[in-house]
A and B are shown apart, each in its own frame.
Chain A
């Protein structure tokens, strides 16, 4: 064992060359790049279906943007509370960091609730996954698929944030959880970034 450990210790680099702070950060970035390909595929497919459809409804008229503009603003705010949590943790103020993490999770939870409200409203007006009264049935399919995939990410993010909140609370030193919170932040900002794209391409364009 000691021989193997000696060999591997000599071969394996001690730190990630791309992200010197931690391997975990590199892992999250690679996961996010893969996830972004997933969203990119959905949005590219959406764009092509829409561009080549003869009777694609005008998203602006069907979906309305007042509520979603508010949801966009909410996600931007939750991104700010996320960076504030990390900033306070870096300054050694565990209490404030925990508060901001909680606000971030709360913002995410409100976002998903508003999305549930929006979906219910649209379904009552006749927008279904397999058809709608306004035109191409793929309009409903792509809408529910893309916003649903994003909503799922927000839901997972809220659970992730609450778990990390527990980790921060349990570790006595704020510095010990700095890296974990930074990696959580990467995921959360990514979800915000994706929503910026979804809001522009599926609601405004």
Chain B
């Protein structure tokens, strides 16, 4: 029979997650720059996700290799942003060019 895990204090994790959700909602009302709010929200979301994975999904009590398996998608998704950005900027530039061409009538 498989050995059972030690069970962490789930209610404490629940309260942390609930409080962090309230903090997240409060953050968007703070008189801060858009970028700062973005960074704060990303940090809070990652903290919550890590807590769910570590304690609810018991990753804290698993082998290191399984942690690496779980971390791979995050790395891939982050890399993907940099792969896609050039395309996004190219479209943005073309849209701006088309707009400029239609707004400014030919001068000659």
Q: Which residues of A contact B (CB under 8 A)?
A: 17-22, 26, 29-30, 32-34, 36-37, 39-41, 43-45, 47-49, 51-54, 60, 65, 69, 72-73, 76-77, 79-80, 82-84, 86-87, 90, 175, 178-179, 182, 185-186, 189-190, 192-193, 196-197, 199-201, 204-205
B89 CB to nearest A CB, Å: 6
**Contact at A73–B52, with CB atoms within 8 Å?**
no
**Is B85 in the interface zone, CB < 8 Å from A?**
yes
**Contact at B18–A84, with CB atoms within 8 Å?**
no
**Contact at B21–A83, with CB atoms within 8 Å?**
no
18 more A-B contacts (CB under 8 A) besides A185-B57, A204-B27? A19-B66, A29-B70, A33-B70, A33-B72, A36-B73, A44-B77, A49-B88, A52-B92, A72-B21, A79-B14, A80-B13, A83-B7, A84-B10, A185-B56, A193-B49, A196-B48, A200-B44, A200-B45
**Contact at B84–A44, with CB atoms within 8 Å?**
yes
| 3 closest cross-chain pairs (CB), A and B | A40-B77, A52-B88, A36-B73
Q: Count A-B pairs with CB separation below 8 Å.
A: 137
**Is B36 in the interface zone, CB < 8 Å from A?**
no
Among A21, A47, A76, contact of B2 (Cβ-Cβ < 8 Å): A21
Among A39, A54, A65, A205, contact of B38 (Cβ-Cβ < 8 Å): A205
